[in-house]
Structure 1
């Protein structure tokens, strides 16, 4: 098993969990889904790898990012396609972003391609959000959007964990650590650490065809590793940019926004040039 796609009537959103490295090391935090000794227990809404937005009613007055009663909910509706290929798997799903009035605001069509190449797994995501019956506005917030909560050993610094943190962030500009990467825009960021003597990492790439490329990064030292192409004000303010500007995204009924990401789970030493080369290959896809 590489990962599982988790859905259910009582889940706030679909998510992938757990996620394993090629040798079987779990790279996602267990809490709140699985109990693991010594693990951190903050932010219970950080579940595996997920796609969501807004913690203070930023989506037409609805919050989808944080922990809350249902609705709101990103509800899985159906599997549109599932097939296998040589060292590949494909899954396409339909979900609805349902507001607290029980009405669907958005449809989400998510194409996922899972590949195994030598010492790494590659997950490609092509996500299309479509406004349904009303205009939908995404207000500015740092709380989003394409995210993974990593295992504590892979985090840079978690004050709530008994597990040793070994991770370090690196972005496409050569910046390192949360301090120098959080709130900046970049085409890719990787988080790499050590587990039982093995170098293991996760890299997230943002495709140039995506909405508001290159994305801002909500990359936290405690283990929340997120690409947020919509938020802006919180990031500029947090980085002490003079006169930070708010950004919103509004979709009229029938209008779509596309979000394309690649996630690579790899083992072994990889150079800066390796990540740049993979980004170039992904950007041509």
Structure 2
């Protein structure tokens, strides 16, 4: 009897040890006909690298993005009209990286809503270089061209981007490392407001607002609303600099967290800057209406004219931007974010 009890005890201990050691499996599935690469965690969707034709979207994005429980944290519009969501800025889609003024061409604001796109740029996906899945970690390497005149002109920049996806328990992490290389002529990133690395979040993660706007109603119809319904709108920014709420806009910080609830799930999204990035620590172009962006290249408007950058790349010169995004189902302390930021800084 003692022998049987001992064996059962060893089996339970072994099972507990295995449970503690279990690591989520990340799988990347290329779907060329659908212009995307699905990222799955234990067979469940996490996000997708989405690169549709120029007629639909003017840049590749990660869309949508989910928590470990499957809750979508990015805005659905413009691809899906979800009741209660804003319909502003159709170029704010998922997670992306681009800029408002590259040799005078606007890559940030370009979308099919613009009629005359002659002064707008397009980022065109050109290739999938590496796809690796694994336990707790997956990697995707892609290339793209930054082309002026709505994708009909000259290539200004060659882009090489590596996405590293991590999954562990209630946390998902996306590292994006993007190298931009000028082609045969100098490239100037004019010192402007709109850029560069960004996420557009779900309505529930916005800050409450009393301003009128246009929303999608329950029937999928775009409707002007004079007074917003702030029920369930719970977003709150918090920076490593200790500043909170919408006051974080135009402040510098090593990382910026946006926390809130969707249904009854506590959710935190944190973007972490990297010490090797231009203008570290970055200025935050983080707005209460759901735009969550870090702009290392536009400093004049954020500093109220005290600083000016106008960053330039000589022909064939490169610039690398590195960002870590942490999506947590639950709450995260400052010390945990400081640890993640330190690990990120030391990993690249």
Structure 1 Cα separation of the partners of residues 331 and 165 of structure 2: 22
Partner of 2:154: 103
1:236 is paired with a residue of what secondary structure? coil
Partner of 2:47: 3
Q: Which runs of 4+ in 1 moved over 6 A?
A: none
Structure 2 Cα separation of the partners of residues 197 and 38 of structure 1: 18
TM-score w.r.t. the length of structure 1 is 0.93
C-alpha distance after superposition, 1:51-94 (max 9, x if no partner): 0101xxx2112000003437620110001111111122111110
2:68 is paired with a residue of what secondary structure? coil
Matched positions, count = 276
Which consecutive unaligned segments of at least 5 residues does structure 2 have?
1-44, 216-228
Structure 1 Cα separation of the partners of residues 279 and 104 of structure 2: 22
Residue from 93, 101, 104 that aligns with 1:47: 93
Q: Bigger relative contact order, structure 1 or 2, given CA contacts below 8 A and separation 6+?
A: 1
Partner of 1:219: 286
2:109 is paired with a residue of what secondary structure? coil
Structure 1 Cα separation of the partners of residues 265 and 104 of structure 2: 45
Matched, 1:230 2:297: yes
Structure 2 Cα separation of the partners of residues 284 and 61 of structure 1: 35
Partner of 1:240: none
Matched, 1:264 2:326: yes
Structure 2 Cα separation of the partners of residues 86 and 245 of structure 1: 45
Which consecutive unaligned segments of at least 5 residues does structure 1 have?
238-242
Contact kept in structure 1, 2:84 and 2:203, CA below 8 Å: no
Matches within 5 A, 1:131-170: 131-158=182-209, 159=211, 160=213, 162=229, 164-170=232-238
Residue from 234, 258, 264 that aligns with 1:191: 258
C-alpha distance after superposition, 1:80-118 (max 9, x if no partner): 111111122111110010011611000110000011012
- Bigger Rg, which one: 2
C-alpha distance after superposition, 1:216-275 (max 9, x if no partner): 1000000000000010011112xxxxx523211100111011100000110112112111
Partner of 1:118: 169
Contact kept in structure 1, 2:268 and 2:331, CA below 8 Å: no
Partner of 1:253: 315
User: RMSD between aligned alpha carbons?
Assistant: 1.4
1:275 is paired with a residue of what secondary structure? helix
Q: CA deviation at 1:8?
A: 2.1
Partner of 2:66: 20
Q: CA deviation at 1:283?
A: 1.1
Partner of 2:15: none
Structure 2 Cα separation of the partners of residues 271 and 87 of structure 1: 22
Matched, 1:93 2:130: no
Contact kept in structure 1, 2:170 and 2:330, CA below 8 Å: yes
Matched, 1:127 2:178: yes
Larger helix fraction of residues = 2
Partner of 2:241: 173
Q: CA deviation at 1:135?
A: 0.3
Partner of 2:78: 32
Structure 2 Cα separation of the partners of residues 103 and 157 of structure 1: 43
